[in-house]
Amino acid sequence: MNALTLVSFFFFTALVAFITWRLTRHDDHRHSSSYFLAGRSLTFPIIAGSLLMTNLSTEQMVGLNGAAFTDGLSVMAWEVVAVVTLVTMAMFFLPRFLKSGVTTVPELLALRFDRTTQLLANIIFVVAYAAILLPSILYSGALGLMGLLDLQTLTGIESNAVLLVLTIVAVGVGGAIYALFGGLRSIAISDTINGVGLLIGGLMIVYFGLDAISNGHGILAGWEMLKTSHPEKLRSWGTENQSVPFSTIFTGVLLLNMFYWCTNQQIIQRTFAAKTLAEGQKGVLLTGLLKLLGPLYLVLPGIIAFHMYTGESVKADAAYGQLVHDVLPAPLTGFFAAAMVGAILSSFNSALNSTATLFSLDVYKARLKPDATDAQVVRASKWSGWLMAIAAMSIAPLMASQESLFVYVQKVNSLYYVPLLAVILVGFLTRRVPAMAANLALVLGCVIIAAFYFVPPLTGVVDIVSNFHFIAIVMVLLVLMMLAIGKMMPRTEPWVQQDAGAIDMTPWSKAWPASIALLVLVVAIYLAFV
């Protein structure tokens, strides 16, 4: 390990920590509004930076580039289609969330349906985050760091399994300290700083990777070599034997993105902290613009790695870390490793903060101890966060058995994404669908998807119709069931959303032109690589 790599790594890591501390050292973490929602003070650059970095975990950097290593450019759908759902978030979901002044998605479901709906949603979120989301972040982060910093050589630990567990624990403990003692504002600020570093680092990988392909003749020569050698890897339309067939973009891929960017507590909690609706809309749409760069640093490096390591025994999910280690100069490797650690911690601490928020506000405060003070709620949040962190660190090593981490995570996320999205959409779009319909949809949705995923011979049905088409079918059935119940047994009084008056609800004047421009760019990117 080059000494310059370690020096640059520790320098950038310390710099981010120092700047974050300087900007947040006087923050009030005793009150729940300050701790969970940053006092509703976030402006659009911080919102965009935090959204991007929460999303830019090593699950994305390692997993999506690993998927590109196998399938090529078609996996960019996860980045490009996200722009469509971010526009939907800015123009449809966000105004409704902010109008109610809620801190969590289940809190809104309590207002729209009843407290049982809130409890069910909480259980689903907390279990899913602890068993799926947090472990996948830790596993992919540890895997990326092991390749990036060549930890086997650095530590002298020969066993990959032992090194993986130790790295997971180190990242998990560090992320938990960051998340549970700093509150949302410190997470958002450190996210923004790390986001700049990761974007710069990600683009550097592309530059040095293409230059390496051309043997030092420049990135344009490298790009031409890629196009000539692997034209099949540079097509935006996925085939039926790839992980993202083109037809699935309009069904499951769109629905999973819709949940992730519009109703996923881990992501949208920072939009709940927007200073005004206009700031929130600008932040979400700026995130959409930045996501259009995603294929450049989240997909293209995987294709470069495929070109460089064809014929070698490099596993898809390990290709990105290997590429970074091979092409970056030592000082820049340290810088990028620090940004990667920032990405890992960002995603982990955001998910952990959201999980603790859900438990402490919607379970502890709402049901276990209604008379709890703000200080007691914050304390309960920290304790529950540590328990979630320990559970995630215990589960993460088990993910080593998966062939493709990214594909696996997208699949198991469907278990709870689809039922929750169906309930939230019906809740916003109708006034008389009763709580019973929502509660039934949450339970049945999770049970049905789990049965078809894990119980033979039902699993064969998913293989025939494609997982993404299957979850779209389940989504439609859940919505139709709720509408039918609403028709037969409607609420006695139609639901009317009340304005909580939490923030200024004046929309951004340029929101619609910006949204249309983003959608045009999405179509243009797909057509450019047909």
Dihedral (CA of 324, 342, 93, 105) sign:
positive
- Scored b (16 or more CB within 10 A) or e, 367-376 reads eeeeebeeee
CB atoms within 10 A of CB 169: 18
Statement: residue 94 has pLDDT above 60: yes
CA angle, 150 then 342 then 125, to 5° = 110
140 vs 272, which has greater pLDDT?
A: 272
- DSSP code per residue over 218-263: -HHHHHHHHHHH-GGGG-SS--TTSSS-GGGGGTHHHHHHHHHHHT
pLDDT at 330 over 80: no
Residue 59's pLDDT is 65
The more confidently predicted of residues 438 and 184 is: 438
In this structure, are residues 67 and 59 in contact, taking their beta carbons and an 8 Å threshold?
Answer: no
Question: Full-prediction pTM beyond 0.75?
Answer: yes
Whether 312 shows a pLDDT value over 60: the answer reads yes
Q: What is the pLDDT of residue 466?
A: 84
Q: Where are the domains of the chain?
A: 3-398+405-528
Give the CA distances from residue 179 to residues 49, 208, 349, in Å, rounded to whole numbers and listed in that order: 17, 34, 5
The CATH H-level superfamily of 3-398+405-528 is: Sodium/glucose cotransporter (1.20.1730.10)
* pLDDT reading at 191 higher than 70: no
Q: Which of 178-192, 245-259, 361-375, 382-396 has the lowest mean pLDDT?
A: 178-192
Average confidence (pLDDT) over 68-94: 94
Q: What contacts 515, CB < 8 A, 6 or more positions away?
A: 87, 90, 91, 285
The first and second tokens of residue 239, run together, are 């085939």
- Which residue(s) pair with 274 in the sheet? 42
Q: What is the mean pLDDT of residues 474-503?
A: 94
Give the type of residue at 471: I
307-311, 349-353, 384-388 — which is least confidently predicted? 349-353
The backbone region for 524, taken as left when phi is positive above 0, alpha when psi lies in -120 to 50, beta otherwise, is alpha
Across all residues in the chain, what is the average pLDDT?
84
Inform me whether the pLDDT recorded for 195 exceeds 90: no
d(CA 349, CA 177): 8
- Identify the residue with better confidence: 73 or 161: 73
CA distance 299 to 302: 5
Q: Please check the confidence at residue 116 and state whether its pLDDT lies above 90.
A: yes
> What does the pLDDT look like over 11-56, one tens digit per residue?
766 776 677 667 666 655 454 444 445 557 788 988 888 788 777 7
